[in-house]
Structure 1
Amino acid sequence: MSSNYTFSMIKPNATAKNITGKVNAYFEAAGFKIVAQRRVRLTLAQAQKFYEVHKERSFYGELCEFLASGPVVAQVLKGPNAVLKAREIMGDTNPEKAAEGTIRRDLGDSIGENTIHGSDSDENAANEIAFFFNQLDICE
């Protein structure tokens, strides 16, 4: 069975547009509970560490620069089959290919500025949660 926790991060383009509440409304409407949340401004080095799994990919540098360009909202979501369900709510990475009614389709600006990051596995969710939060931060 999949974990009941996943990680999501509202990206700088969404915080700049002041739509973090709109983004969270998608998760809450689907039954998720936000059990930890933090607004932070990452340095380039922190963004590089966070996205280290993508280090060899062509978009790594641009992605890290974007992540460090403004505040993000890091959060822990709780719900059944959290990773899979959250990814369904977020939609395809490319907003143009994302299904109607998903976060990225409705609120994303481009494939690079697609509003939200979400864990793609239980293992990555655990690592990404630990990057931003400790157990005392997670309140159910």
Structure 2
Amino acid sequence: MEETYVMVKPDGVQRGLVGEIISRIERRGFKIVALRMNFIDEDTAKEHYAEHKEKPFFDSLIAYVTSGPSVSMIVQGKNAISIMRTINGATNPVDASPGTIRGDFAIETGRNIVHASDSQEAARREISIHFGEKESVDYRKIDEVCLYE
């Protein structure tokens, strides 16, 4: 099964959307194998968003993601990376379809509620930044027989 990193950003936490987002993930059939609420420190935020270091929005992105608590998850399931990106919706909420998290709850790119890894490489890197090796739980969900062939 594929794993991906998902974060409910500080705006999602402040707006009380954590339960809604987790519910959407679980209703889709994915399992959450690690979950933590914390304040991401500046060094961790810079490591997480390193690919944006030279972009003009980098400093404001770091200030935003460290401004309040966020919720980090490892989400597991078949095609978890691409499906989570679809569940989240387009990065710019103006382009996000209704029914997606960003399409339903976000207005501006700088406050777009959620993050999900965009590739297997990014997922491995982001999971290693936010979770230790022994922090995920391996278990079988009773409904897996109904989800997978």
Gaps of 5+ in 1: none
Q: Which runs of 5+ in 2 are unaligned?
A: 139-149
Instruction: State the AA in 1 paired with 2:116.
Output: G
Aligned-pair RMSD on alpha carbons? Answer: 1.1
SS in 2 for 1:135: coil
Query: What's the CA shift for 1:131?
Result: 0.6
Q: Structure 2 matches for 1:30-45, cutoff 5 A? A: 30-45=28-43
Distance 2:69 2:54 in 1: 25
Determine if contact 2:44/2:129 at 8 Å carries over to the other structure. no
Q: Which has the larger radius of gyration?
A: 2
Cα deviation for residue 96 of structure 1 reads 1.6
How far does the alpha carbon of each residue in 1:31-71 deviate from its partner, in whole angstroms, 9 at most, with x for none? 11111011110222321121111111221111111000000
Q: 1:135 Cα deviation (Å)?
A: 2.3
**Could you state the TM-score of these two structures normalised by the residue count of structure 1?**
0.93
- Normalised by the size of structure 2, how large is the TM-score? 0.88
Match of 2:20 in 1: 22
Measure, in 2, the Cα distance between the counterparts of 1:138 and 1:109. Answer: 33
Give a deviation string over 1:101-123, Cα, whole Å, max 9, x none. Answer: 00111122421110001101000
- Residue in 2 aligned with 1:92? 90
| Preserved contact between residue 109 and residue 115 of structure 1 (Cα < 8 Å) | no
Q: Distance in 1 between matches of 2:18 and 2:85?
A: 17
- Structure 1 runs of 4+ off > 3 angstroms? none
Aligned to 1:64: 62
Q: How many residues align?
A: 138
Between 1:24-33 and 1:44-53, the stretch displaced more is 44-53
Partner of 2:7, secondary structure, is strand
- Secondary structure of residue in 2 paired with 1:96: helix
Q: Secondary structure at the match of 2:94?
A: coil
